[in-house]
């Protein structure tokens, strides 16, 4: 008689906000903070897959300790997209778990290579986070297909197109109704729209529609307010923010006006500095 595998489970590690150095502060902003960033461990009876291994030396070290405390065999580390804050910590995790594979979709791998290029590290990441970026940055191997197997269960890699950046993906675990969304969905944090155009926002909206059609019962956002539930309603909240930003951008003649309009519509979201940067990139 066959024995059915134990259901998969998951836990979310949330790295706290951290200061980012920039001279372009929003009105009234004393210092710019990077939003809380989520890493998700999906596990069975023995093995586990880690999604989005964070960025800084401190974050990666704390995450590695947190994973170790779960007592699972880490078989894979998956990056949902190529933004540095979701994969720069991978090399330190691999040092602790050398048998694990770092994997991503092919388009994400190409983005990772650009983010980890020496000129990008020197001109962007070391400037924003001096002394905090790991020296050895690992780049993922490209997945040949769209499935990661974990104890006989499928973790589906879904291409989301352009969301807050290009070549974005998310991970869907149908057996437990889980979506680990990366930055396709935000949870009570201002969206990063620094790479946004009207067409790219339409692509993002289409990606949200496709994600929602999968019927998840749990959605883990790449950036979330501490303690906020991982409820699928955040898909609709992300959609509403995008629509509000499009309307506010069309009605605003300056960075400041766009920023103020969006703050009035979304006064409680974390990290208004992210909104200021998005408005600056939209309006110049």
The pLDDT, as a whole number, for residue 180 is 99
Residue 236 in this model has a pLDDT that exceeds 90: yes
Does residue 133 sit within a domain? yes
- Residue 107's contacts (CB-CB under 8 Å, 6 or more residues apart) are 159, 166, 167
Does residue 3 sit within a domain? no
Does residue 83 sit within a domain? yes
Angle at the Cα of 241 from the Cα atoms of 266 and 206, rounded to 5 degrees: 170
Report CA 188 to chain centroid distance, whole Å: 14
The pLDDT, as a whole number, for residue 6 is 80
**What does the pLDDT look like over 140-177, one tens digit per residue?**
999 999 999 999 999 999 999 999 999 999 999 999 99
Residue 68 in this model has a pLDDT that exceeds 90: yes
Domain that holds residue 84: 9-283
Give the rounded percent of residues in the chain with a pLDDT score beyond 70: 99
Please provide residue 225's backbone torsions phi and psi, each rounded to the nearest 5 degrees: -70, 135
Does residue 215 sit within a domain? yes
The pLDDT, as a whole number, for residue 225 is 98
Residue 2 in this model has a pLDDT that exceeds 50: no
**What does the pLDDT look like over 79-118, one tens digit per residue?**
999 999 999 999 999 999 999 999 999 999 999 999 999 9
Within 10 Å of residue 199's Cβ, how many Cβ atoms? Answer: 9
| Domain containing residue 94: CATH number | 3.60.15.10
Whole-number average pLDDT of the chain: 96
- Residue 97's contacts (CB-CB under 8 Å, 6 or more residues apart) are 64, 67, 74, 77
Considering the entire predicted model, what is its pTM? 0.96
Within 10 Å of residue 177's Cβ, how many Cβ atoms? Answer: 14
Does residue 1 sit within a domain? no
**What does the pLDDT look like over 178-226, one tens digit per residue?**
999 999 999 999 999 999 999 999 999 999 999 999 999 999 999 999 9
Residue 5 in this model has a pLDDT that exceeds 80: no
- Cβ burial of 31 (10 Å; 0-12, 13-18, 19+) is exposed
The pLDDT, as a whole number, for residue 284 is 82
pLDDT interval class at 1 (50, 70, 90) = very low
Please tell me the total count of domains within the chain.
1
Residue 3 in this model has a pLDDT that exceeds 60: no
> What is the β-pairing status of strands 101-104 and 141-142?
parallel
Q: Are 103 and 76 in contact (CB under 8 A)?
A: yes
Does residue 253 sit within a domain? yes
The pLDDT, as a whole number, for residue 4 is 55
How confident is the model over 13-21, as a mean pLDDT? Answer: 97
């Amino acid at each position: 008689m066959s024995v059915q595998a134990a259901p998969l489970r998951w836990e979310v590690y949330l790295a706290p906000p951290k200061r980012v150095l920039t001279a372009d502060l929003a009105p009234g902003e004393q210092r710019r903070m990077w939003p809380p960033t989520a890493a998700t461990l999906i596990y069975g009876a023995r093995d586990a897959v880690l999604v989005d291994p964070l960025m800084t030396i401190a974050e990666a070290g704390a995450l590695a300790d947190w994973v170790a405390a779960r007592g699972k065999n880490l078989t894979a580390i998956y990056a949902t997209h190529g933004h540095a804050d979701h994969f720069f910590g991978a090399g330190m995790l691999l040092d602790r778990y050398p048998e694990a594979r770092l994997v991503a979709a092919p388009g994400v791998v190409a983005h990772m290579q650009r983010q980890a290029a020496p000129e990008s590290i020197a001109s962007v990441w070391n400037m924003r986070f001096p002394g905090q970026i790991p020296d050895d940055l690992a780049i993922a191997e490209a997945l040949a297909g769209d499935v990661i197997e974990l104890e006989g269960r499928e973790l589906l890699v879904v291409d989301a197109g352009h969301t807050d950046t290009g070549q974005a993906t998310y991970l869907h675990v149908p057996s437990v109704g889980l979506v680990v969304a990366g930055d396709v969905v935000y949870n009570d944090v201002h969206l990063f729209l620094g790479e946004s155009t009207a067409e790219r926002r339409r692509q993002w909206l289409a990606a949200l529609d496709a994600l929602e059609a999968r019927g998840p019962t749990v959605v883990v956002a790449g950036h979330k307010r501490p303690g906020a539930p991982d409820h699928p309603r955040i898909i609709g909240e992300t959609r509403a923010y995008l629509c509000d930003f499009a309307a506010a951008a069309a009605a605003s003649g300056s960075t400041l006006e766009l920023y103020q309009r969006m703050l009035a519509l979304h006064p409680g979201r974390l990290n208004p500095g992210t909104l200021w940067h998005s408005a600056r990139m939209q309006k110049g």
